[in-house]
Amino acid sequence: MNKQQTPLRSGFEAATTATEALAGRDLSGMQAIVTGGASGLGLETVRVLAGAGAKVLVPARDPHQAQAALDGMTGVEVAALDLLDPQSIDAFAATFLATGRALHVLVNGAGIMATPLRRDARGYEGQFATNHLGHFQLTARLWPALRQAQGARVVCVSSLGHRQAGVDLDDPHFLRQPYDKWRAYAQSKSANALFAVELDRRGAAHGVRAFSLHPGAILTPLVRHLDLDDLRRVGALDDEGQVNPPPQSGFKNVEQGAATAVWCATSAQLEGLGGVYCEDCDIATLVADDSTGPGVRRWAADPAQARRLWALSEQMTGVRFDCEAA
């Protein structure tokens, strides 16, 4: 297990906002890409990074809709990208690489949650394909720009949902078992964390560090596929059955929810560290798989499992990183 998976006592907390997590840092001269940056937590992440001087590129399936959401933000661009379409990923990355710009921050934040069964053109289950494989391929294609930055960070947005299941390496696409939307989501979020573990192992020697995180429970467009039973399950309903989380539910607002991603992307407290899972603007505690509290489960922080997932991801995507760990 990663010995760095120990809280830093950063001084931040669950109520810390993204602006507070940035701690006044000037990001002028930095280039960021934020997937999922046109809504919810991603939109707030873009707002804070751009407000601190970074140039931010936001990939989106619907660039016109994304542009409308981002209208008025200085230093923010939009481009087309569909994480379920390998050709779209390659085209987006090729266009960015052609600019010759270094990439200092890549926030892999786009995702879908608890959706009905959907398969991409390869037959891959949609949540695993979007949340993990799409970002795996995107990061690989952007690798030259990340290396060029000589100090880049890749931030993978996981979830407390990872607590429900690890990655089923034998049947990740539910070809031999009944589809379970929550288990599919959970394994995709465990995959996000494991991807950061292995990417950091391979990338550290090239100046690329990787982090994963749980942003907190927040009501964003990510919940669009949830019915009332689902919302009740996650504690989002009040006593009258309305979508209005009670104060004791622990839900965050968007400004608080974006804080840990911004902290992972920019904080000097993380210099020299990587491959760790974070929550509430600090490194999370590694806990037993049957734990019911916060922290990262061992199946989402296991270096051996991370290497196996990496090999499977290369096989599934046909994409290899131009990097090897020392």
- Of the listed 124, 179, 185, 277, which one is catalytic? 185
Q: Contact 235/226 with Cβ under 8 angstroms?
A: no
pLDDT digits (tens, 9 = 90+) for 254-271: 899 999 999 999 999 999
Condensed to tens digits (0 to 9), the pLDDT of residues 87-116 reads: 999 999 999 999 999 999 999 999 998 899
Please tell me the predicted confidence (pLDDT) of residue 248: 47
Residue 185 annotated to the active site: yes
Residue 239's pLDDT is: 53
Q: Look-up: residue for tokens 């009905």?
A: 116
Mark 125-151 as b/e (b = at least 16 C-beta within 10 Å): bbbbbbbbbbbbbbbbbbbebbbbbee
- Using CA atoms, how far apart are residues 105 and 102, in angstroms rounded to an integer? 9
Residue 93 CA to residue 87 CA, distance in Å, equals: 10
The pLDDT tens digits of the residues spanning 272-321 come to: 999 999 999 999 999 887 777 788 999 999 999 999 999 999 999 999 98
Instruction: Give dist(CA 136, CA 52) in Å, integer.
Output: 28
Average pLDDT over residues 188-198: 97
